Amino acid sequence: MSSEFFFQSITQLAAALEGKTLSSIELTRAVVARTKAVEGRVHAFNSVDEPDALAQAAESDARRAAGQARGPLDGIPIGLKDVIAVAGQPLTASSKMLANFVSPYDATVTAKLKNAGAVLWGRLNCDEFAMGSSTENSAFGPTHNPWDLTRVPGGSSGGSAAALAAGEVLAALGSDTGGSIRQPAALCGVVGLKPTYGLVSRYGLIAFASSLDQIGPFARTVEDAAIVLGAIAGHDERDSTSFKTEIPDYRAELKKRTGPWRLGIPKEYFADGLDPEIGAAVEQAIAFYKKLGCEIKEVSLPHTRYCLDTYYVIATAEASSNLARYDGIRYGHRSKNATDIVDLYFQSRAEGFGAEVKRRIILGTYVLSSGYYDAYYLRAQKVRTLIRNDFLAAFREVDALITPTSPMPAFKIGEKADPLALYLCDIYTIGVNLAGLPGINVPCGFTKSGLPIGAQIIGQPFRESELLAVAQAYEQAHDWKTKMPSL
Q: Distance between CA 282 and CA 285 in Å, rounded?
A: 5
Burial 141-180 (b: 16+ CB within 10 A, else e): ebbbbbbbbebbbbbbbbbbbbbbbbbbbbbbbbbbbbbb
The neighbour count for residue 403, using CB atoms within 10 Å, is: 24
At 388 the three-state DSSP class reads: helix
Cβ(459)–Cβ(438) under 8 Å?
A: yes
- CA distances to 242, 294, 299, 385, 399 from 392, rounded to whole Å, are 21, 20, 12, 10, 11
Q: Which stretches of 117-267 are assigned E, i.e. beta strand? A: 119-124, 171-176, 191-194, 214-219, 262-266
Catalytic entry in 9, 103, 134, 180? 180
Told to judge if 60 belongs to the known catalytic residues of this protein, a careful annotator would answer no
* DSSP secondary structure code for residue 375 in this structure: I
Catalytic entry in 9, 23, 81, 95? 81
Told to judge if 156 belongs to the known catalytic residues of this protein, a careful annotator would answer yes
Catalytic entry in 156, 157, 406, 465? 156
Q: Distance between CA 286 and CA 404 in Å, rounded?
A: 11
Q: Distance between CA 381 and CA 387 in Å, rounded?
A: 10
Burial 41-50 (b: 16+ CB within 10 A, else e): ebbbbbebbe
Told to judge if 240 belongs to the known catalytic residues of this protein, a careful annotator would answer no
Q: Would you please indicate which residues are annotated as catalytic (active-site) residues?
A: 81, 156, 180
